[in-house]
A and B are shown apart, each in its own frame.
Chain A
């Protein structure tokens, strides 16, 4: 059996199982110890992987009860064991799977067929900590951790209703990752759930170590630079979108929960928006939209205008621009690409280095390199300002993966700007637009509510209207119950003297 022991799922009986235990026995942490119960005169063995089990449980609960308890056959263990997860099994194919997930195997020499499996998992769980990526000033400060049980607990607590359904299964031939699909019955569209379930079951990758793997595998179009599933570390966000009719996917070992189906605007709304007054939230959203457009377009515009369309520049600005470029020996495109790459380098270096060194690099890079290159006459100071502003603007995007996309998008735009000036920029806009129109998330249009235009969904997109106006669930989700509350009740108007 060169191919490995995990293939005995098909269950070919004892030989397979022996093989399995033999492979396991090669590991250093494989332990098989035999004991003798003097009371009932029974020999029994415990097999486990020391790295996975909690020795305290074995010492205090399992061994003590097995050695001292009234123990005659395997069937007795449920009576004497003070543990909740005790299984009695006769299917040998399950053995290695359970051993690998932290169970202790109990065998008695007299009983060949039956054996017991006792859970003695060593739980190493990080304590809850405040969110690190989706930071908010107001609102709850807890974030998901790596344990799926904790994460599900966090969500359940926010939605203590029977309609919240959690489906769980395992994927990944090697990693055996537990995955849970969450949705609210009676709200979420069944078709969506079926699609998600099907896509998850179809995953054939061997090692799923994080939810990001799943994002890439089950996306509608994996060749798109745009993320199509939203990942969040905030339980409140998950609870809120579940109530809207979306689906959440929890992956064991990942502190990020996935949300699907999503639209483009979801990636530009920070969940903190919902904790703010609608006017302020709308302002922030518009600001972010502006920042994104600015971040993508400003350097390409600079290149286009300076390379081709000098007529556009107002007279007063002309002298500023020309003086700043006078001693720069490179064409604008080269200048822009160099600076953009420098900023990317700074970001990448800052991200890879430990926090304290990273900050230093940022300051050193930003100030020293910037000033020096302007003084040396390698770049124009105006472009330096623009590039720095564009980089700053790209960080306003609340979702990390989207801000990466935005920074990447700048480069094709720069290329087209160099080719055909403003025409090239619009050409590139057309390409991106087409791509976005074609993009779907779980078969739902990604560009909703802009296209297809849906007035109802616009209320929580670029602007965020007050709660009173948001009586409907997003239309693109095709929810089974489109109303969040009855609008009639909410919109009873009072007269002046009432």
Chain B
């Protein structure tokens, strides 16, 4: 269980975890979660978001406990619990988890581009361009990856304000009556929030790269809180903007909401939103590739750069096979389920396991 010591200059400041978590969460699912949760929980679904967000704080707390006990990332935790070899075997699937994450983010982005702007967009070439860009980012090291995460939040931050003119066209009465749905429906809605919410679990992989790691816990919670807040506000704005029947016919409610906003020199704002969505997706892909390649390095002891090449080639190979809307939806729902299983089921299990092993080792 020999830990590789990470030099200080490669580490990131604890508060940057805030941006990492938010950037990783916002991306996948953030454009259409309103429609999906409203399917079950109706216009009470914003309660589901708050509920889901609250639950996740417990998971974040667990993540930090695990990381603190084993003093390392998830691979270390696995080795701590199950020994060297099995630990590595257990960590292996997570390479695919992150591969899937970046694949789903990327494919959804391309889908939007294809529907909205370029119906004839060549998938392979564009993804190659995007992959080369991600490679350039990832080769800059974690500092650069986190930098992109930071800018992907800060630069498009003004977009949040562009939703507020929608208030003129909204009807908040449609949110009434509150609690019109059963608790079961609400929990179902919370379950569907797993896709937009996943991403915070990266802490478990980045932990050794954070300066004064434990200090970052506060920031992780804050990041999660900020995402929950953003999602809730956005959901309420969406629910007030669309009627319930209409929402189910809207593919990407977040984008459609930009349609009403107008400046004297920009007639249709959603194009600007979509263009910026590129930047918002970039950290999702980059962090995923970085973590994936890092896992490859930890498990197989090969250079991280080779891991990056491997993941990028795998991604390029896979992305060209996903063509139809159904396949994309399948990919997203698969990601949602896997993400849910990992965050809500596996992490608590790991937490208990680590705790037991700790007790045993003490004796």
Task: Select which of B16, B262, B265, B271 is within 8 A of A452 by beta carbon.
Answer: B16
A437 to B266, CA, bound (A): 30
List the one stretch of A347-355, A378-386, A415-423 in contact with chain B. Answer: A415-423
Q: Quick check: A425 and B275 within 8 Å, CB to CB?
A: yes
Q: Which residues from A are CB-within-8-Å of B275? A: 421-423, 425-426
**Interface members, chain A 282-324 (any B CB < 8 Å):** 308-309, 311-315, 317
Among the 9-residue stretches A100-108, A205-213, A427-435, the one with 4 or more Cβ atoms under 8 Å from chain B is A427-435
Establish whether residues A311 and B267, one from each chain, have CB atoms under 8 Å apart when the complex forms.
yes
Q: Determine chain B's interface SS by DSSP, over half rule.
A: helix
Is B13 an interface residue, CB under 8 A from the partner?
yes
- Using an 8 Å CB-CB cutoff, how does the interface string of A235-279 with B read, 1 for contact, 0 for none? 000000000000000000000000000000000000000000000
**How far, in whole Å, are A311 and B282 apart by their CA atoms in the complex?**
26
Report B-chain residues with C-beta under 8 Å of the C-beta of A430.
Answer: 133, 148, 278-279, 282
Contact of B271 among A312, A315, A431, A434 (CB under 8 A): A312
State the Cβ distance, B91 to closest chain A Cβ, in Å: 29
Residues of chain B contacted by A437 (CB below 8 angstroms): 140, 143-144, 147-148, 151
Number of interface residues, chain B, beta carbon within 8 A: 33
Min CB distance A309 to B, Å, is: 5
CB distance from A461 to the nearest CB of B (A): 14
Query: B278, A426: Cβ atoms under 8 Å?
Result: yes
The reply on B36 being an interface residue by CB < 8 A is no
Whole-angstrom distance from the CB of B277 to the nearest CB of chain A?
A: 8
Given A314-B262, A422-B271, A427-B130, 12 other A-B residues pairs in contact with their CB atoms under 8 A: A308-B118, A309-B271, A312-B267, A313-B267, A422-B275, A426-B278, A430-B148, A433-B151, A434-B136, A434-B137, A438-B144, A453-B150
User: Does chain B have a CB within 8 A of A451?
Assistant: yes
Q: Find residues 97-131 in chain B having any chain A CB closer than 8 Å to their own CB.
A: 113, 117-118, 126, 129-130
Candidates A312, A433, A447; contact of B268 at CB < 8 Å = A312
> A308, A425, A438 — which one has the most chain B CB atoms within 10 A of its CB?
A438
B276 on interface, CB distance cutoff 8 Å: yes
Mark A102-133 against chain B: 1 for CB-CB distance below 8 A, else 0: 00000000000000000000000000000000
Question: Cβ of A438 and Cβ of B140 under 8 Å apart?
Answer: yes
List the 4 closest pairs (A to B, CB-CB), nearest first: A437-B147, A422-B275, A438-B140, A314-B267
CB within 8 A of A314: which of B16, B130, B264, B278?
A: B264
B132 to A, closest residue via Cβ:
A431
State the Cβ distance, A425 to closest chain B Cβ, in Å: 7
- A residues near B276, Cβ cutoff 8 Å: 426
CB closest chain-B residue, reference A447: B147
Collect the chain B residues with CB atoms within 8 Å of residue A422's CB. Answer: 117, 271-272, 274-275
Q: Which residues of B contact A438 (CB under 8 A)?
A: 140, 144
Q: With A and B bound together, what is the CA distance between A426 and B274 in angstroms?
A: 10
Q: Which residue of A lies closest to B151 (CB)?
A: A433
Closest residue of B by beta carbon distance from A437: B147
Q: Are A311 and B271 in contact (CB under 8 A)?
A: yes
A427 touches B129 (CB 8 A): yes
B13 and A452 form a contact (CB under 8 A): yes
**A426/B140 in contact, CB under 8 A:** no
Interchain CA distance A426-B272 in the complex, whole Å: 9
Residue-by-residue, is B236-278 near A (CB-CB < 8 Å gives 1, otherwise 0)?
0000000000000000000000000010111110011011101
Q: List 16 A-B contacts (CB under 8 A).
A: A314-B262, A314-B264, A317-B265, A421-B275, A422-B117, A422-B272, A423-B113, A427-B129, A427-B133, A430-B282, A434-B140, A434-B144, A437-B143, A437-B147, A452-B16, A452-B147
Scoring A314, A430, A435 by chain B CB atoms within 10 A of each residue's CB, the highest score goes to A430
In the bound complex, CA of A314 to CA of B265 (Å): 6
Q: Cα distance A450–B267 when bound, in Å?
A: 31
The residue in chain A whose Cβ has the minimal distance to the Cβ of B264 is A314
> Cβ of A309 and Cβ of B265 under 8 Å apart?
no
Set A308, A431, A451, A453: member contacting B117, Cβ < 8 A: A308
Closest to A429 in B: B279
The complex places the Cα of A313 from the Cα of B278 at a distance, in Å, of 21
Contact B278 A423 (CB under 8 A): yes
Distance to closest chain A CB from B134 (angstroms): 9
Chain B, range 136-182, C-beta contacts under 8 Å to A:
136-137, 140, 143-144, 147-148, 150-151, 154
Residues on the B chain within 8 Å of A427, using CB: 129-130, 133, 278
